[in-house]
Structure 1
Amino acid sequence: MRKSEQVLQALAAVIEAGLPAGAAFRRGGSLPARVPAGGLVILRDGDPGEPEVLLSPPTYVYQHRAQLEVLADGSNREAVFDSLCAAIGVALAGDRTLGGVCDWAEPEAPAPEELSEDGGEGMKAAVVPVVLHYATGDPLE
């Protein structure tokens, strides 16, 4: 398994395990028409970017930017949204190395938005970037 996939799977496991009861998690896919009452977090693989290359032996050091889409809907969407963001922060603070497959995982602050159709009350959403620092001996590994 490629190193980037190992890191993304470990990130998914840490985030999913840390979410509050009732929250849903998935990796990839389209935005749903309905968001569960406990909210939804979607992991997007993101972009590994250009690596820094160290020689002898060749080592490719990545700062991979994955994205967590946080979605909350309903009358208590503010509280659900805050609960999801806090849970993500706690989960990552508790395991910055994602079980040892990553050198460091660092979340960035979300920029919340209100998404609505036809001017009605909508859902609250944000992208939470997570920078994953890791190294591999081969960019295709």
Structure 2
Amino acid sequence: MATKREQVLRALHQKMETLPQVTMRGGALPERLPGAGLFILRDGEPGDPEVTLSPLAYHYEHKAEIEAMRHGADHRDAAFDDMIAALGVALHADRTLGGLCDWVEAEAPQEVDLPVEGASAFKAASITVVLHYTSADPLA
């Protein structure tokens, strides 16, 4: 059986897969960006949990990272903004990821334009998603 951490990350990835952009979990950046854009989910860090003793429970604020990328010369900024907004709508629609989390919240994207030699630049952002969940054991 998968750990609570893995269940939460799988549920987040499945939520991202409902979007029209290509979605990956981990891995290297592909050589070519898909036309609709790309999201890469990085597992991030669960951090140190708060612990309650009766009953014993570990409360995490796990910070996962989503890398978002979009290229194109025409209306790239607007298309990128639409892509980020669609991710926000998907997360807002189910802030508990089917009951696995107490709360899911994305932080503001950290955007950057990345130049590409011989091609149009692409826009990218790193988005921290805070996953609040509880587990009975740090290894379960």
TM-score range, shorter chain: over 0.9
SS in 1 for 2:55: coil
From 36, 39, 42, give the equivalent of 1:38.
Answer: 36
Match of 2:110 in 1: 111
Q: What residue identity is the alignment partner of 2:10?
A: Q
Q: How far apart are residue 120 of structure 1 and its match? A: 5.9
1-structure distance, mates of 2:49, 2:98: 22
Q: Which whole-Å CA distance do the structure 2 matches of 1:117 and 1:8 have between them?
A: 31
Aligned to 1:59: 57
Please show how residues 1-141 of structure 1 align to structure 2 within 5 Å: 1-17=2-18, 19=19, 21=20, 23-76=21-74, 77-118=76-117, 121-141=120-140
Unaligned 5+ runs, structure 1 = none
**Contact between 2:73 and 2:120, CA under 8 Å: does it hold in 1?**
no
After TM superposition, the score normalised by the length of structure 2 is 0.93
Moved over 2 A (4+): 117-121
| Distance in 2 separating the partners of 1:113 and 1:98 | 29
Deviation at 1:69, TM superposition (A): 0.4
Secondary structure of the 1:9 match is helix
More strand by share: 2
TM-score by length of 1: 0.92
Greater mean deviation of Cα atoms: 123-132 or 110-119: 110-119
Q: Which amino acid counterpart does residue 13 of structure 1 have in structure 2?
A: Q
Q: Structure 2: how far apart are the matches of 1:118 and 1:40?
A: 20
Bigger helix fraction = 1
Give % identity. Answer: 53
